[in-house]
Amino acid sequence: MARLKSFLVFLCSLAAASPKCITDVDSAKVELEEYISFTIPDINPRYRLHYHVMPPVGWMNDPNGFSFHKGEFHLFYQYYPYDSIWGPMHWGHASSYDLIHWNQLPTALLPGEEQCFSGSAVSVGETMTLIYTGHVVTDVEPFYNESQYLAFSDDGVYFHKYAGNPVLPAAPNGSPDFRDPKAWKYGNEWYVILGSKTLDQRGRVLLYKSKDLKDWEFLSVIGESQGDMGYMWECPDFFELDGKFVLLMSPQGMQPEGDRYKNTFQNGYIIGSFDYETYEFHPEVEFQEIDFGHDFYAAQTTEHNGKRYLVAWFSMWEVPHPEDVDGWSGAMTLVRELKLVGDKILMKPLDDMVQLRHHTIMDGRLLPNKVVNLPQATELIVDANMNQRVELFLQGVDGGGKVWIRWDPVVGKVAVDRGKGDVRQVEWSPNGQSTWRIFLDASSLELFCGEGEVVFSSRVYPLGGWKLTNLSRLSLKIQAYHLERSVPA
């Protein structure tokens, strides 16, 4: 909040010193931050999260610009502040020193002739550079066009757009779907991948390189659907992890297959090898979902000190968002650390999440059919005999949402069930420990199984805190901790 106030003071001082010093864009930013501050008191807090990044007001979707710059992590996001539904896209902005405690910063990008769709952030010396998709509505079918824009900041707070935008005006095949740049540096050159599609509606990922982020050369198609993986590959990411390369993306249009691909759109990865001489990516392990819950999309990663971190939009398209009547919608998942073990990515909570443990609620055995009440922000560690069926039931103390978590050793599957047939389930083979670590917040549940072999992220909307019932036939050893707030209310 202090940085927000200083930002507003800075802009207002420009206007006071000389009205000519402040532009229409600066005025719009001042008006927007004043609107946000004025609107925050009207937000209904019943579902507001305690330790997940969320918008101060209005709508949030994809994470953008997840990066480390000048000693601080930055997380931007798709943002529409004026309503709790999707609208003309801005970039919201939060920062953190530890990926756990987050500060809200002024809105980084406002739409101009273009809406500011998803993208990434890189450091060029002391300058933070954003590369994002400019989505422009046209009067010619298909009535939009997408190209890539740049914006710069010397302080990591106030951004100005490049006068030479767009720097990447069109896809090689002319497809209007050409978005979500993820940039990185290798050697002395910059690389970027973009999500796109073929002219016969198959998703693909394109690779470019540049010496200055402004003039780009098309290199190759590093991934493409053969007809069974959807019509569009959004939000691609490409990185090296434990000796292999990972193509992470969000395919749209995949058809359900049994337990798999049951969300509106999917998020997953392909493992393979990559050659910077030929610019060819060779898949070695087929596409896998990275999270098996109801609400997880558009994941983006960053690397710092040899560790690879991931965060995703904690929601989904074309589903109800119960918080939207309260003046806001959308959140980010917990940041996870990634490891590659065999042919799978493991996701685990950050080690420093233990800092949020305020006090112990329970450390003992919960007998069958026994109930314990929990605060909105709770961490559970469940240790059970996985040779037998395990079932937990979570509901609101005062009603509202409910969810069942089940383990069936006969079929070897974990399930998260929100009732009325709204089930997500997957096979689980523990690598070592077979405990569950469950993070509950005011309107969310994240389940990490074992070492992170299987993770579920699902939004659930209980009222008045959580009520936990052990529906198993055996007692369960449970540790429960009340977690402190680490994001603005």
Active site (catalytic) residues: 62
Quickly count: other Cβ atoms within 10 Å of residue 447's Cβ. Answer: 23
Between helices 2-17 and 24-39, what is the axis angle to 10°? Answer: 140
Of 297, 479, 455, the closest CA to residue 382 belongs to 479
| Cα end-to-end distance, the chain, whole Å | 12
* Centroid of chain to Cα 152: 23
Strand pairing category for 58-69 and 328-329:
parallel
How buried is 47 (Cβ within 10 angstroms: 0-12 exposed, 13-18 middle, 19+ buried)? buried
Cβ-proximal residues to 127 (8 Å cutoff; 6+ apart), any chain: 152, 153, 154
Of 462, 443, 461, 322, the closest CA to residue 396 belongs to 462
Helix (H) or strand (E) holding 37: helix 24-39
- Rounded Cα distance, 396 and 468, in Å: 9
Cβ-proximal residues to 253 (8 Å cutoff; 6+ apart), any chain: 201, 203, 230, 231, 232, 265
Assigned token pair, 101: 């405690």
- Helix, strand, coil percent content, the chain, rounded in steps of 5: 10, 50, 40
Question: What are residue 166's phi and psi, to 5 degrees?
Answer: -85, 150
- Rounded Cα distance, 22 and 40, in Å: 26
Please say whether the beta carbons of 178 and 150 come within 8 A: no
* Centroid of chain to Cα 349: 14
Q: Which residue has the tokens 């993986």?
A: 229
Task: For residue 85, give Cα distances in angstroms to 54, 57, 78, 107.
Answer: 14, 11, 12, 17
Of 347, 344, 245, the closest CA to residue 293 belongs to 347
Please say whether the beta carbons of 466 and 374 come within 8 A: yes
Residues paired with residue 6 on neighbouring β-strands, in sequence order: none
Strands (E), 84-140: 90-96, 102-109, 115-124, 127-137
Task: Specify the DSSP class assigned to residue 335.
Answer: P
